[in-house]
């Protein structure tokens, strides 16, 4: 693949930063935009440190919802070859509490981005979607032809589904637009250097960063929300994919020269229970993770994991890192970065 100029929206976030270092190793020119609402400017120096002397990374602070800012981005960095769109709100629990905020931010952000890309002649986008678009009624493993939009349990998932519909409708009238939708299944872990990883502002909404904060003593215990699911140990089963495997999936999607809309699942193709993840973390890192069983949360389902055959075959990509790698790399990041939070609320999983 030739050297490209690639725009990453939300590129200092958890997934965006790992994609940035993976693309940067290929000497692409990377333009990162981020409003820093759930990320830190300090990540930029970490990205450059990992990439090294070949780093060709530019940063502009701003919001995809700001049309003037988006015009500035495309004028400052003309002839952008492709956009990878990460910028969105993504906390399931918060979306239930603030649905209008999620619809406003996520849908309008995509609309403004597409209009701007059309104005400046950028004809390639890779969209960060989610397995939540499949809803809760389809038994796993889920493939790309499984039904979407049915029984989605939260506004965050609905916004991802609506964004996919927008992209599908847009592709129907813009056959020259290369659109790739990547549906993620529970990204976790960290870069093996320990320099970047998942460090959300405030109390984590996701399981793995909460485990990390229990491991470092910031929270006294982990809540497991329900142990009476129809699974092998009673806890929910998810498809946990190492963030570096996910990042390499984006590079594989970028290498694929599609001229029409394409959809791929990015996961491991196997399910891991909450208790299995905890047990693995304890074994790999020789540390105890105290937990208590709490009532089920609204919207949680028994199990969900991906069928990855399409991505394996069409993108020549496969997730290779193990659950042990996830636990080892994630804990290394926690220790290296000395994550500090002022909150000690143990009520989230």
Tell me, what CATH number does 103's domain have? 3.40.50.720
Whether residue 211 is contained in a domain is answered as no
In this predicted structure, the answer to whether residue 337 has a pLDDT above a threshold of 90 is no
What is the percentage of the chain residues whose pLDDT exceeds 90? 83
Whether residue 49 is contained in a domain is answered as yes
Whether residue 203 is contained in a domain is answered as no
| Residue 338's pLDDT band (cuts 50, 70, 90) | low
**pLDDT value for 55:** 83
User: What value does the mean pLDDT take over residues 261-281?
Assistant: 97
Whether residue 81 is contained in a domain is answered as yes
What is the percentage of the chain residues whose pLDDT exceeds 70? 96
**pLDDT value for 345:** 44
DSSP letter assigned to residue 139: P
Query: Active site residue: 156, 184, 210, 229, which one?
Result: 156
The pLDDT tens digits of the residues spanning 147-206 come to 999 889 899 999 999 999 999 999 999 999 999 999 999 999 999 999 999 988 778 878
Whether residue 133 is contained in a domain is answered as yes
Whether residue 340 is contained in a domain is answered as no
Sign of CA dihedral 21, 106, 334, 339: positive
Core vs surface per residue 236-271: b (16+ CB within 10 A) or e: bbbbbbbbbbbbbbbbbbbebeeeebbbbbbbbbeb
pTM of the model: 0.93
In this predicted structure, the answer to whether residue 301 has a pLDDT above a threshold of 70 is yes
Whether residue 197 is contained in a domain is answered as no
Active site residue 156: yes
**pLDDT value for 260:** 81
> Number of structural domains, the chain?
1
The pLDDT tens digits of the residues spanning 74-128 come to 999 999 999 999 999 998 888 999 999 999 999 999 999 999 999 999 999 999 9
Structural domain range at position 45: 5-189+241-266
For the chain, what is the mean pLDDT? 93
Whether residue 38 is contained in a domain is answered as yes
- Contact between residue 164 and residue 110 where contact means Cβ atoms under 8 Å apart: no
| Residue 339's pLDDT band (cuts 50, 70, 90) | very low
**pLDDT value for 297:** 82
């Amino acid at each position: 693949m030739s050297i490209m100029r690639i725009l990453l929206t939300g590129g200092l976030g958890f997934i965006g930063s790992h994609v940035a270092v993976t693309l940067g190793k290929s000497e692409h020119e990377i333009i990162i935009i981020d409003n820093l609402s759930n990320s830190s400017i300090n990540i930029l120096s970490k990205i450059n440190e990992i990439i090294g002397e070949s780093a060709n990374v530019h940063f502009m602070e701003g919001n995809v919802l700001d049309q003037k800012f988006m015009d500035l981005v495309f004028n400052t960095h003309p002839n952008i070859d492709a956009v990878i769109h990460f910028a969105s709100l993504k906390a399931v629990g918060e979306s239930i509490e603030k649905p209008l905020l999620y619809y406003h931010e996520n849908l309008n952000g995509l609309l403004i981005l597409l209009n701007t890309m059309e104005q400046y002649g950028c004809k390639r986008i890779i969209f960060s979607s989610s397995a939540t678009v499949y809803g809760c009624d389809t038994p796993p493993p889920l493939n790309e032809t499984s039904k979407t939009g049915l029984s989605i349990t939260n506004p965050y998932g609905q916004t991802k589904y609506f964004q996919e519909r927008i992209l599908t409708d847009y592709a129907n009238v813009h056959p020259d637009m290369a659109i790739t939708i990547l549906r993620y299944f529970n990204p976790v872990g960290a870069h093996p250097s320990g320099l970047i990883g998942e460090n959300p502002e405030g109390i984590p909404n996701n399981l793995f960063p909460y485990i990390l904060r229990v491991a470092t003593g910031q929270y006294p215990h982990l809540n497991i929300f329900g142990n009476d699911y129809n699974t092998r140990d009673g806890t929910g089963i998810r498809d946990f994919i190492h963030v570096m495997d996910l990042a390499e999936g984006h590079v594989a999607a970028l290498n694929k020269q599609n001229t029409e809309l394409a959809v791929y699942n990015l996961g491991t193709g196997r399910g891991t229970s909450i208790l299995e993840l905890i047990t693995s973390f304890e074994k790999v890192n020789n540390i105890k993770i105290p937990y208590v069983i709490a009532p089920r949360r609204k919207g949680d389902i028994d199990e969900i994991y991906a069928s990855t055959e399409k991505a394996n075959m069409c993108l020549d990509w496969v997730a290779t890192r193990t659950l042990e790698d996830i636990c080892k790399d994630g804990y290394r990041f926690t220790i290296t970065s000395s994550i500090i939070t002022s909150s000690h609320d143990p009520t989230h999983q």
